[in-house]
Amino acid sequence: MIITVEEPKHAAAIEALLDASFGPDRFAKTAYRLRDGVDSIPALNLVAIEHDEHGREVVVGTIRYWPILVGGTTQSILLGPIAVAAHLQGSGLGSKMIRMSLNKAVALGHKSVILVGDAPYYERFGFSRALTLGMEMPGPVDMSRLLGLELVEGSLAGAAGMIGKPEQADAQDIAIGETSVLGPVLGPVLATSIDMPAGDTSVPFSALFSRAAAERIWTDRVRRTDWFWRDGLQAGAA
């Protein structure tokens, strides 16, 4: 099993996995209105890949993120869709992809994450309804499923109003990350930390972030010796 950054060659397999998970009607969901015509955030889009008996790649997991603007002013990112192949659901793969991508989002300077999903699942990563109470979606949504997460403490304080697509220029800012200078510095640190089969993964972060932020680091509770992380910066088998 490899978890790596999505590449164009994975696109068709991802669509097939999403169709299998959500059905072909998924494009009618309100979240897709926020994705339509907007580029997702390449650095945060991950795939999980297995190899079949012929050595061919099989995409068994996908997670994507999109730039959004809350109330016309607050930049954030939208998590989703996320899907795991049926035979691997419950194995920890979804959690692993979420934790990896959230850690990477921190490194890239993103300040908050919004999603539409099941609170009982996403609360374990720190998402909460309380942070989105003043927000609206551009279509029908069960608002109890609109959840937020602050990557930087206070970043969603006062964030309210309609969630929309970013302006063209803003979209690029959000996709790159406002503190993208940290990306090259923290990227290898994160990749290495995430992959380590054991050890204190909070050390690199606590040196760079406040205590409050350090508490928002998502450590990987699932230690699988046959999974490893690769994003072009670091590669290695755990």
Q: What 3-state DSSP class applies to 198?
A: coil
**Position 19 contacts ligand COA (CB under 6 A):** no
**Position 123 contacts ligand COA (CB under 6 A):** no
Q: Please check whether residue 103 is in contact with residue 95, taking contact to mean a CB–CB distance below 8 angstroms.
A: no
Residue 152's contacts (CB-CB under 8 Å, 6 or more residues apart) are 111, 112, 213
**Position 146 contacts ligand COA (CB under 6 A):** no
**Position 38 contacts ligand COA (CB under 6 A):** no
**Position 41 contacts ligand COA (CB under 6 A):** no
**Position 92 contacts ligand COA (CB under 6 A):** yes
Residue nearest to ligand COA (CB): 94
- H-type helices in 86-198, by residue range? 93-107, 119-122, 168-176, 182-195
Instruction: Report, in Å, the least distance between residue 85 CB and ligand COA.
Output: 8
Residue 7's contacts (CB-CB under 8 Å, 6 or more residues apart) are 47
Contacting range for ligand COA; rule: CB under 6 A; set: 5-13, 32-40, 42-50, 86-94: 86-94
Q: Please check whether residue 47 is in contact with residue 61, taking contact to mean a CB–CB distance below 8 angstroms.
A: yes
Kindly list the residues in this chain that would bind ligand COA in the complex (CB under 6 A): 21, 82-84, 89-95, 117-118, 120-121
